[in-house]
Amino acid sequence: MKISEQQGSNVSQNETIQVQLNGRDREIERGLTIRSLLESLELEPGMVVVELNREILERDSYPNVTVSEGDALELVHFVGGG
Amino acid sequence: MTATMIDEARALDGPLVIGGETFVSRLIVGTGKYETNEIMVDAIRASGAEMVTVAVRRIDLDRTKADGILHHLDPGEFFLLANTAGCYTAEDAIRYARLARAAGFNDFVKLEVIGDEKTLLPDVAATLEAARTLSDEGFKVMAYTNDDLITALRLEDAGCVAVMPLASPIGSGLGVVNPYFIREIKSRLEVPVIVDAGVGTASDACVTMEQGVDGVLMNTALAAADDPVRMSHAMKHAIIAGRLAYLAGRMPSREIAVPSSPTKGMLG
Mean pLDDT over residues A2-16, rounded?
57
Q: Say how far apart CA B156 and CA B143 lie, in whole Å.
A: 9
What pLDDT shows up at residue B268? 85
Does residue B117 belong to any structural domain of this protein? yes
Cβ of residue A81 closer than 8 Å to a chain B Cβ: yes
C-alpha pair distances (Å), B177 with each of A82, B121, B129, B152, B181: 20, 14, 27, 17, 9
ipTM: 0.91
Q: Which amino acid is at B102?
A: A
Q: Say how far apart CA B182 and CA B36 lie, in whole Å.
A: 34
> Residue A4 pLDDT > 70, yes or no?
no
Residue B246 main-chain phi, psi, to 5 deg: -65, -50
Does residue B261 belong to any structural domain of this protein? no
| CATH number, position B151 | 3.20.20.70
Does residue B130 belong to any structural domain of this protein? yes
Residue of A nearest to B60 (CA): A22
Domain count, chain B: 1
Sequence-separated contacts (24+) of B112-116 with Cβ below 8 Å: B112/B83, B112/B84, B112/B85, B112/B87, B112/B144, B113/B84, B113/B87, B113/B88, B113/B89, B114/B85, B114/B86, B114/B87, B114/B88, B115/B88
Distant-in-sequence, close-in-space partners of A1: CB < 8 Å, separation ≥ 6: A29, A32, A36, A37, A39, A40
What pLDDT shows up at residue B9? 72
Distant-in-sequence, close-in-space partners of B181: CB < 8 Å, separation ≥ 6: B147, B148, B149, B165
Q: In this predicted model, what pLDDT tens digit does every residue of B42-63 receive, in sequence order?
A: 999 999 999 999 999 999 998 8
In percent, the amount of chain B with pLDDT more than 70 equals: 97
Does residue B254 belong to any structural domain of this protein? no
> Residue B253 pLDDT > 70, yes or no?
yes
Does residue B253 belong to any structural domain of this protein? no
Q: In this predicted model, what pLDDT tens digit does every residue of A45-74 receive, in sequence order?
A: 999 999 999 999 999 999 999 999 999 999
Does residue B267 belong to any structural domain of this protein? no
Does residue B116 belong to any structural domain of this protein? yes
Cβ of residue A42 closer than 8 Å to a chain B Cβ: yes
Q: Report, as residue numbers or ranges, the catalytic residues of B.
A: 110
Q: In this predicted model, what pLDDT tens digit does every residue of B124-134 receive, in sequence order?
A: 999 999 999 99
Considering only CB atoms, which chain A residues are within 8 Å of B33? 80, 82
Q: Say how far apart CA B106 and CA B91 lie, in whole Å.
A: 21
Residues in a beta bridge with A33: A66
DSSP string covering A45-56, please?
GGG-EEEETTEE
Residue numbers of the domain that contains B148: 2-60+69-248
Does residue B265 belong to any structural domain of this protein? no
Sequence-separated contacts (24+) of A51-55 with Cβ below 8 Å: A51/A76, A51/B99, A54/B95
Which domains does chain A possess? Answer: 3-76 (3.10.20.30)
Residue of A nearest to B112 (CA): A82
